[in-house]
Structure 1
Amino acid sequence: MTIENHNLHNEFPEMGDQIRALKMKDRHFARLFDEYHDVDREVRRIEEEVEPASDERLEGLKIRRLHLKDDLYAMLKEA
C-alpha cells in the first residue's frame, strides 16, 4: 500500500514562499502548521502500522488534518 505524503509543501507546492513567510510572521499560522504536521505524522505512523489505532481514531485524525489544511489554505489565500 502506498501512503501519500500530505506534507503542506506537497499539498500546496505553488505556495511555498507564502508558507515560509507566514510561519515566520504569524504565530497562529505557525501553531496550526505545527499541529497539522503532528497530526499528519500520527496518521502516517498508523497507516504504516508502526502505531496501532482503531479505525475511529484514524478517521478522527484524518478529519482533524483536513480541517487544519482548510484553515491553513484560507490563511495562505488571504496573505
Structure 2
Amino acid sequence: MPLQYHPLNREFPQFETQMRTLLQVDGHFARLAEEYEQLDKRIYEVVDGRVAMDELQLQGLKMQRVTLKDEIETLLRGGTVG
C-alpha cells in the first residue's frame, strides 16, 4: 500500500462545506485542523524514513492524530468538544 498523507478533506469529504466555514469562523476548529495537519505531516516523514523515531513514539503520534480527528469530527457534526 503506498504511503499517503491523511488530510482532513480526504478523511471527511462529506463535510467539505462545513470545514471551509469552520476554518473561517471558528478559531478553535482552525487550531485543531492546523495541529492535525502538522501531526499528519510529521507522521508521514517518520514512516517515509526521512525522520528517525522509535516505534513507541510513532504510535503515540498516531494516537494523537486519532484523538484530534475524533474532536474534529465531533465539531463537524455540530457537537461540542469537552
Task: Provide, for residues 22-68 of structure 1, a one-character-per-residue CA deviation record: whole Å limited to 9, x for no partner.
Answer: 00000000000000001000000001101110001100000000000
Structure 1 stretches of at least 4 aligned residues deviating more than 4 Å after TM superposition: none
Partner residue in 2 for 1:64: 64
* SS of residue matched to 2:51: coil
Q: CA deviation at 1:3?
A: 1.5
How many residues are paired up?
79
TM-score by length of 1: 0.95
Taking the TM superposition and a 5 Å limit, the aligned residue runs for 1:3-22 are 3-22=3-22
Q: Quick one: distance in 2 between partners of 1:55 and 1:2?
A: 19
* SS of residue matched to 1:78: coil
User: Percent of counterpart pairs with the same letter?
Assistant: 34
Q: Which has the higher contact order (CA 8 A, sep 6+)?
A: 1
